[in-house]
Amino acid sequence: MVTDRMLIKIVRAYYEAGLTQQEIADKYGLSRIKVSRMLAKALRDKIVQIKINVPARKFSELEHMLEIKYGLKDLLIVDCKTDDPEEVITSVGMAAADYLSTILQGNEIIGLTWGRTLLKMVDALSPDNLPDLQVVQMLGGLGEPEAEFHGADLTRRFAQNFTTRPRLIHAPGIVRSKELHSELIHDIQVKSTLELAAQADIALVGLGLFGPGSQLLKNRNVLSKEDVDLLASLDVVGDISFRFFNDQGQYVSSEIDDRIVGLTARQVQKIPRIIGISGGRNKFKTIRAALKGKLIHVLITDNDTAERLMAENN
């Protein structure tokens, strides 16, 4: 049983000292999953309460102009005092959590992908009881299953936050051959989960960077060198749910598509409300391309990115 004393130590280490969940686990001899559950309990029991202080309507005019410029349904600009990537990711993720609390009705189907910004969003969610909410993974797992931003873990934690059950894809996000891909997508569990994901009312997606600094390229277990070279030859700048697009916001096709266990680009595009959660200077080209191609309907980003987008001559 977790003592209040240990819970407070973990809360202080995470929110005040800024240690990662793995660092806390190592320090106190716990598993990372245990630490994650304890932090979730602290939020659920209101030991920790997260509040985002944004100056009233500071960016309302800029938001309005960008919504018109890019044909967005909605846009939320977060006031970031620094361009430090970690700070930007945390601020944007927290803002996304706050945004969700204002729009969820409780009967939607929510599709999730993966990534560090989505992790920060899930970390900042306020617990609620929405048992009719359906939460589904849009893409098989990428990276190591124990990674905090792995799609299955994020989907599970998101669902737990709202007291509902997740629908997970028990398969990797990319496999080595078309034959294995065909077997997996016809597996009854994978097939039924993807069918539900295709019916999502809302998709929560990170805008993945393809290029220097990319989390995707850091993990050599996801894409082979041949895959990376192929995507580079197609002038790819980013991805949504592992479907890759170029700097004009056009999804590009390749043989890699035939090995991805997840929604197709066409299926993703049919989701009525795709919320892109992304920010930071290194993501600018990716975000701009997604907006040019109208690949998302809502953008949650930082003020520096928003100002640069407004200055662009499209």
Confidence (pLDDT) at 1? 45
Residues 125, 237, single domain; the answer is yes
Q: What is the pLDDT of residues 22-78, one digit of tens each?
A: 899 888 888 888 888 888 888 888 888 877 665 555 788 999 999 999 999 999 999
Residues 38 and 73 in one domain: no
Q: Is the pLDDT of residue 220 over 90?
A: no
| 132 and 184 belong to one structural domain | yes
Separation of alpha carbons 296 and 15, rounded Å: 31
Residues 26 and 147 occupy one common structural domain:
no
What average pLDDT does this structure show over 213-238? 86
pLDDT tens per residue across span 79-137: 988 888 889 999 999 999 999 988 999 999 999 998 889 999 999 998 999 999 999 99
- Number of structural domains (the chain) is 2
Give the three-state DSSP class for 13.
Answer: helix
Query: Is pLDDT of 301 > 80?
Result: yes
Cα 57 from Cα 35, distance rounded (Å):
37
**Shortest CA distance to 55 belongs to which of 78, 83, 75, 85?**
78
Confidence of residue 144 (pLDDT cuts 50, 70, 90): low
37 within 8 A of 6, measured Cβ to Cβ: no
* Alpha carbon distance 213, 191 (integer Å): 33
What pairing do the DSSP bridges indicate for beta strands 109-112 and 202-205?
Answer: parallel
Q: Residue 253: pLDDT above 90? A: yes
Q: Give the residue from 49, 73, 89 where a domain finishes.
A: 49
Q: Are residues 248 and 103 in the same domain?
A: yes
- Determine the average pLDDT of the residues in 125-150: 81
pTM, two decimals, is 0.80
Secondary structure (3-state) at 305? helix
DSSP secondary structure of 113-180: ---HHHHHHHHHPPP---TT-EEEESB-B-S-TTSTT-HHHHHHHHHHHTT--EE---SBSB-S-HHH
Is the domain of 32 the same as that of 72?
no
User: Which residue range(s) make up the domain with 9?
Assistant: 1-49
Query: Residue 55: its pLDDT value, please?
Result: 55
* pLDDT value of residue 52: 65
User: Do 32 and 101 share a structural domain?
Assistant: no
* CATH of residue 286: 3.40.50.1360
